[in-house]
Structure formats: structure tokens, C-alpha cells
Amino acid sequence: MKIIVITLLSFLLFNVQKAEAQSIKKNQDTVFYFLDTVATPAKDRIIRIERETPYLGYIILCKCYPLNADPVFYTRIDSYKKVISKEEFAKIKTISLTRLIEIAVKYANDKIYSHKFFFIEPDGNNMKVTKVTLEGPRKPDAILYNTKKIKP
């Protein structure tokens, strides 16, 4: 009986302890990138926008991610969006595409999510601010079938 009580008490003691790694909060920097889809001709765009219901993906066509992949930012169609005036937009400090790629590659290598990303796009006479998430690098898709002919 003593062994059962001691085992239960030790089990409770170890389960009550707080895990420190889960409670550490890292401050995240906020990054704004101006995605000018109106002024950039389609053939000169380095960012491709794809829609897969219910997500909208922003793909940077640079093959600069690990495994020779393109960085992908995504958002839900119904996620956070805010319309701001051009005067408010002028007060926001935006980053360059080069800096955005540097941050994405650093995240891919370090696996530390230290930034909140917002893309700003023209929306008529205003600007639309969309919160996006950077997708981590993925392994290339496996070959689904063998292309070699096997002799019987």
C-alpha cells in the first residue's frame, strides 16, 4: 500500500511542475511588405498569388528556400484584413522584397518564428492590410510511381 501511495504522490509531483520551455514568450517583430500588384506588369511579377479554398497563397518565385523551394506566405480568405487610407499607409515603415526573403530564409534555417507578417495591397483609393503566415520549408514530393520499366 505504501508503494502505491508513494508512486501516486511522485506521479502527481512530476505532473504538477511547470514546463519552462512552453512558457517562454519571444517578442515578435511586425513586418509590413507593400505588394504592389496594380503597378507591376504581370510578366514582371516575382510574387504569384494563388487561391486554394479557403486559403490565399503568396509565393515568392526565387527558389531561395531550403531544398530549392519558393517561400510561401498564406492567409485564410476570411482572416484579418484592415482597410487603411493612403495617409495612414504613408506612416507605415515597409520592408523591401530582399529583406522579406532574408527573413523568410532565416526562419527556414533557424525554425524560430520571430516575425508577424502583413502584406499591404492597393484597394481602390485605400490600402488593404492582410495578416499572412510564413509556411515552413517542405520536403519535395515523393515520386508516386517508378518510371523505369521492369523486366518480368
pLDDT at 96: 93
Does the residue 6 lie in any domain? Answer: no
Does the residue 50 lie in any domain? Answer: no
Tens digit of pLDDT for each residue in 3-47? 776 766 566 556 655 555 555 556 778 999 999 877 878 777 888
**What's the number of domains the chain is made of?**
1
pLDDT at 95: 94
Does the residue 119 lie in any domain? Answer: yes
Domain span at residue 73 reads 26-41+64-81+91-136
Residue 132 has pLDDT above 60, yes or no: yes
Mean of the per-residue pLDDT values of the chain: 80
Does the residue 35 lie in any domain? Answer: yes
Does the residue 54 lie in any domain? Answer: no
pLDDT band for position 63 (cuts 50, 70, 90): confident
Does the residue 16 lie in any domain? Answer: no
SS3 sequence, the chain? CHHHHHHHHHHHHHHHCCCHHHHCCCCCEEEEEECCCCCCCHHHCCEEEEEECCEEEEEECCCCEHHHECCEEEEECCCCEEEECHHHHHHCCCECHHHHHHHHHHHHHHCCCCEEEEEEEEECCEEEEEEEEECCCCCCCCCCCCCCCCCC
Does the residue 37 lie in any domain? Answer: yes
